[in-house]
Structure formats: C-alpha cells, structure tokens
C-alpha cells in the first residue's frame, strides 16, 4: 500500500512529525505551501482567526491528486482549536474516495480533540475512511523534539502493525 503524507507547517513542528511519519511508513511527503507568506509575529491573529472561521488559503503549486495512494496521512498544527486554512484548501479539492486516512496534529495544549473532530467530518464527506489519528504536544518552548517525535511515531505505527510502504 502506498502512502501519501500531506501536511502544513508554519513554524516547523508539523514538518518534524511528517518527516517522522515518512521515515517510519516510507510514505511520500507533500508539504502544502501558502502563496501569501504569513508574518512571524504579526501574522498570529490572522492565522488564528482564519482557522477559527474555517477559511481556506491560496496554495502555491497545489497538487490535489491522491489517485496513486491507498493511504493518506494529513497533518496540521492546531490553530484556535481548528485545522490550519491550508489543510481546509486541500480537503476542499482533493478526493479521498476509498482512501484509508490517518490524521495527526501538533499542538501546544493537550486538547486537539475539536480539530480532530472537525477534520474527521470533512474526511468522511470526501469519501475517506478515518482509520487512526494521533497528536503530539509541543514542549514549553513550543517545539517538537525530532527524536521524541520519531520514537512516538515508531511506537504508534508498531501498535497498529503499519508496515513500511513504497512511495
């Protein structure tokens, strides 16, 4: 089974986890990039508001094609308890019909539940089957440690008997 790992990351944590998922599953990474760059500090409010109202962002060179893959991982930071707008854009245009979908989030609090629930609804609407999810919490400096992320994902995949796939 071929795996695709679609993710959005503003400050690098979700990328760290996506890299770990790719290393463990052998899946192909597909980072989503926004056409309009967000400003590091002043962009915070706009980012939070956009996520809160379920906005979509304009993606740079978007690729919505999932046809080659049976498994699709979708990773997002939690923003104002919601998925990031780039992920909303991907989910608006990509087909997940017949796909096994895994979700992952990174977040500063231990409460990603609302984000996972809202994504689960969208995935079902697009015909996907959610088969698993996990969340990784940042440390006090709002960072995810790459080694810990890799250990966590390894263990998580082992428990689910997920095998390394081709790209």
Ligand X SMILES: Cc1cc2nc3c(=O)[nH]c(=O)nc-3n(C[C@H](O)[C@H](O)[C@H](O)COP(=O)(O)O)c2cc1C
137-156 residues in contact with ligand X (CB under 6 A) are 138, 142
Contact flags string 52-81 toward ligand X, x per CB under 6 A = -------------------------xxxxx
Find the shortest distance in angstroms from Cβ 10 to ligand X: 4
DSSP 138: -
Segment contacting ligand X (CB under 6 A): 7-15, 54-62, 92-100, 159-167?
7-15
CA torsion angle 123 128 134 137 (round to 10): -30
13 lines the binding site for ligand X (CB under 6 A): yes
Is 148 within 8 Å of 19 (Cβ atoms)? no
From candidates 95, 109, 129, 163, binder to ligand X by CB under 6 A: 109
9 lines the binding site for ligand X (CB under 6 A): yes
Which residues here bind ligand X, judged by CB under 6 A?
Answer: 9-14, 44, 47-48, 77-81, 106-109, 138, 142
């Amino acid at each position: 089974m071929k795996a695709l790992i679609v993710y959005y990351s503003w400050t690098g944590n979700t990328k760290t986890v996506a890299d770990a998922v790719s290393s463990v599953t052998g899946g192909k990474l597909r980072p989503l990039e926004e056409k309009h760059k967000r400003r590091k500090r002043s962009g915070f409010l706009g980012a939070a508001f956009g996520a809160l109202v379920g906005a979509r962002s304009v993606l740079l060179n978007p690729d919505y094609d999932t046809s080659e893959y049976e498994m699709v991982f979708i990773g997002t930071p939690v923003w104002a308890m919601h998925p990031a707008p780039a992920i909303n854009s991907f989910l608006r245009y990509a087909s997940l019909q017949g796909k096994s979908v895994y979700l992952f989030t990174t977040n500063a609090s231990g409460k990603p539940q609302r984000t996972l629930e809202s994504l689960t609804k969208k995935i079902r609407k697009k015909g996907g089957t959610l088969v698993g999810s996990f969340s990784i919490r940042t440390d006090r400096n709002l960072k995810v440690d790459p080694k810990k992320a890799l250990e966590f994902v390894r263990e998580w995949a082992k428990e689910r008997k997920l095998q390394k796939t081709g790209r």
